[in-house]
């Protein structure tokens, strides 16, 4: 049996701030348990809901030496089996007592440096010897570094492989060398330009990318994009050097969680055979609940997003009044930069029948919007993968996206002459181009309804489940460990 350990800072259903948690929570369940023993290790945050945390079982505890700024530290290991997967939780109240898993950068780097060393230190004690550790994002970047350096003196770790998955290259874990060395206890010769040093600072993600046996990203296009300077966040040279040991694998979604035929969170269940008749009932109910003009003929566009420049909210700011014309409604769910939160609040006040600004995140409301909207807007500046467009397909909602990263890989632009495609897209990061694409989608929605419905049908039949996507990971794991 092949033994794999996933290491991450978040995972559904225990703690979630973004798509990383969905991947780590969904993918391990897809592997055949007769062939793969896949386990997951996480920090034991106090913000994990009591319904789970109260059931954690004590496994062991020990003292671990860190760098001079930390010294000796307590490590507790808890265990919980959920939906057939064994989860380990690294326990230390000093680091993981929190209401939210992330804080300011320096503190996060200290606690995740501790976490990374604790993950490796616990393995001989709990008697689990994975052949491969799959590390996710910068918070686990020092695991490959520790493994290939400090831990190589122990035969237990010989031959153990690592994969580093980049979910978002923008976040890297960067602080001055002296501090990171003081946290980690790593030798000074590792903080050079070809290893962990980055612009005279220490970089945790860079360390992982240098020392991992293989690198993945969460879409094929993003793997290519980050090898150039515009998207590379200063690491494009390193990634070009490692391009033979790197590939992009598109994320999947949990089809059982996002299934409009049985989803208890939506007003009216439907599927590909009856969406033409029943989807509009979800629209009318949501219009009523949000105080919008109740009219099934309105073109409803949804937006579920962090309200930041990365997500293209500045483009929406440029042309929002053109998007939300008298025939169109725009429904926003999300939080982020205050200037964008206030911008949406302002336009919701100005056009109360057309625009609904829900400055929050509600899973229930999100499901209702997926089921009610005609189209979904994702004009991202960059998008490593994106899950919203994949969920939109499931609910018969047509994505309108910028051609970048995972959006380019998953949305086929509509071609009215060949009668192909399942969404709308634009290339340049430009507000006028966004508005032109939205207006073109309105033309198809209002003037070519049969074509629109066939496009919806094609999207609903696409399969981006983890069941389909896991084969790429199985192939990669076999390549690395035989």
**Higher-confidence residue: 59 or 361?**
59
* Per-residue pLDDT at 467: 86
User: Is the residue at 245 inside a domain?
Assistant: yes
pLDDT, one tens digit per residue, over 421-474 is 999 999 999 999 999 999 999 999 999 999 999 999 999 999 999 988 899 999
Are 18 and 111 contained in the same domain? yes
Nearest Cα neighbor of 215 from 171, 252, 249, 191 is 249
Token duo for residue 279? 């989807």
User: Is the residue at 214 inside a domain?
Assistant: yes
User: Is the residue at 136 inside a domain?
Assistant: yes
Q: What is the percent of the chain with per-residue pLDDT over 70, rounded to a whole number?
A: 100
pLDDT, one tens digit per residue, over 331-342 is 999 999 999 999
* Per-residue pLDDT at 132: 98
Are 177 and 142 contained in the same domain? yes
Token duo for residue 339? 């200037």
User: Is the residue at 322 inside a domain?
Assistant: yes
Mean pLDDT of 211-229: 97
Are 126 and 231 contained in the same domain? yes
Asked if 108 and 174 count as a contact pair (C-beta separation under 8 A), the reply is no
Are 114 and 29 contained in the same domain? yes
User: Is the residue at 267 inside a domain?
Assistant: no
User: Is the residue at 365 inside a domain?
Assistant: yes
Look up the domain containing 145 and give its range.
2-252+466-481
Asked if 422 and 411 count as a contact pair (C-beta separation under 8 A), the reply is yes
Asked if 218 and 165 count as a contact pair (C-beta separation under 8 A), the reply is yes
Give the single-character DSSP code of 59.
E
Are 16 and 115 contained in the same domain? yes
Q: What is the percent of the chain with per-residue pLDDT over 90, rounded to a whole number?
A: 97
Instruction: Give 398's pLDDT tier (boundaries 50, 70, 90).
Output: very high
Mean pLDDT of 125-134: 98
pLDDT, one tens digit per residue, over 261-314 is 999 999 999 999 999 999 999 999 999 999 999 999 999 999 999 999 999 999
Q: What angle do CA 251, 440, 284 make, to 5 degrees?
A: 75
Strand order in the sheet with 299-304: 355-358, 328-333, 299-304, 375-378, 398-402, 424-426
pLDDT over 90 at 19, yes or no: no
Beta-bridge mates of residue 398: 375
Asked if 269 and 263 count as a contact pair (C-beta separation under 8 A), the reply is yes
Q: At what angle do helices 177-184 and 105-126 cross, to 10 degrees?
A: 30
Give the single-character DSSP code of 268.
S
Token duo for residue 249? 């694998």
User: Is the residue at 379 inside a domain?
Assistant: yes
387 Cβ partners below 8 Å, 6+ apart? Answer: 19, 22, 251, 253
Are 282 and 171 contained in the same domain? no
* Per-residue pLDDT at 182: 98
pLDDT over 90 at 361, yes or no: no
User: Is the residue at 265 inside a domain?
Assistant: no
Cis ω for the linkage preceding 107 (within 30 of 0): no
Are 235 and 300 contained in the same domain? no
Name the helix (H) or strand (E) containing 281.
helix 275-290
Q: Which long-range contacts (CB under 8 A, 24 or more apart) does 90-99 make?
A: 90/41, 90/42, 90/43, 90/44, 90/115, 90/118, 90/119, 90/122, 91/44, 91/61, 92/44, 92/118, 93/46, 95/43, 96/43, 96/44, 96/45, 96/46, 97/45, 97/46, 98/45, 98/46, 98/47, 99/47
- Please tell me the total count of domains within the chain: 2
Are 159 and 295 contained in the same domain? no
Are 19 and 163 contained in the same domain? yes
* DSSP-based three-state secondary structure for 471: helix
144: domain CATH number is 3.40.50.2000
Token duo for residue 84? 């057939």
* Per-residue pLDDT at 392: 98
443 Cβ partners below 8 Å, 6+ apart? Answer: none
Are 472 and 410 contained in the same domain? no
Are 349 and 477 contained in the same domain? no
Token duo for residue 345? 């609040």
C-alpha span between 291 and 295 (Å, rounded): 12
* Per-residue pLDDT at 254: 87
Are 149 and 26 contained in the same domain? yes
Say what the pTM is.
0.94
């Amino acid at each position: 049996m092949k033994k794999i350990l996933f290491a991450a800072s978040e995972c559904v259903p225990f703690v979630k701030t973004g798509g990383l948690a969905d991947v780590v929570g969904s993918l391990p369940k897809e592997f055949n348990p007769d062939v793969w023993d896949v386990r997951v290790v996480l920090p034991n945050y106090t913000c994990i809901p009591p319904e789970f945390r109260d059931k954690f079982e004590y496994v062991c505890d020990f003292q671990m030496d860190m760098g001079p700024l930390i010294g000796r530290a307590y490590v507790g290991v808890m265990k919980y089996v959920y939906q057939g997967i064994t989860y380990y939780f690294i326990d230390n109240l000093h680091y993981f007592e929190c209401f939210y898993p992330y804080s300011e950068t320096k503190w996060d780097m200290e606690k995740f440096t501790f976490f990374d060393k604790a993950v490796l230190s616990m393995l001989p004690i709990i008697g689990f010897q994975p052949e491969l550790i799959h590390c996710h994002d910068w918070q686990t970047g020092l695991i490959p570094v520790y493994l290939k350096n400090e831990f190589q003196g122990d035969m237990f770790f010989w031959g153990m492989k690592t994969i580093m998955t980049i979910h978002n290259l923008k976040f890297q874990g960067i602080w001055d060398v002296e501090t990171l060395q003081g946290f980690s206890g790593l030798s000074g010769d590792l903080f050079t330009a070809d290893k962990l040093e980055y612009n005279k600072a220490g970089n945790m993600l860079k360390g992982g990318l240098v020392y991992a046996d293989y690198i993945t990203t969460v879409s094929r296009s993003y793997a290519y994009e980050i090898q150039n300077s515009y998207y590379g966040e200063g690491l494009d040279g390193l990634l070009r050097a490692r391009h033979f040991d790197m590939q992009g694998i598109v994320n999947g979604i949990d089809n059982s969680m996002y299934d409009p035929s049985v989803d208890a969170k939506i007003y009216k269940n439907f599927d590909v055979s009856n969406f033409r008749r029943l989807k509009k009932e979800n629209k009318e109910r949501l219009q009523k609940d949000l105080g919008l003009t109740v009219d099934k003929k309105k073109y409803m566009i949804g937006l579920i997003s962090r309200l930041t420049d990365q997500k293209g909210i500045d483009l929406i700011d440029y042309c929002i009044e053109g998007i939300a014309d008298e025939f169109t409604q725009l429904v926003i769910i999300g939080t982020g930069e205050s200037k964008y939160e206030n911008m949406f609040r302002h336009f919701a006040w100005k056009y109360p029948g057309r625009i609904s600004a829900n400055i929050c995140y509600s899973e229930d409301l999100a499901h209702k919007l997926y089921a009610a909207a005609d189209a979904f807007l994702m004009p991202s500046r960059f998008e490593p993968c994106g899950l919203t467009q994949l969920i939109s397909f499931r609910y018969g909602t047509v994505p309108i996206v910028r051609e970048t990263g995972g959006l380019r890989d998953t949305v086929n632009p509509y071609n009215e002459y060949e009668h192909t495609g399942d969404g709308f897209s634009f290339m340049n990061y430009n507000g006028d181009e966004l508005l032109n694409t939205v207006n073109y989608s309105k033309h198809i929605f209002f003037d070519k309804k049969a074509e629109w419905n066939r496009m919806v049908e094609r999207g609903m039949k696409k399969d981006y489940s983890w069941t389909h996507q896991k084969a790429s990971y199985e192939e990669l794991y076999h390549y690395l460990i035989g």
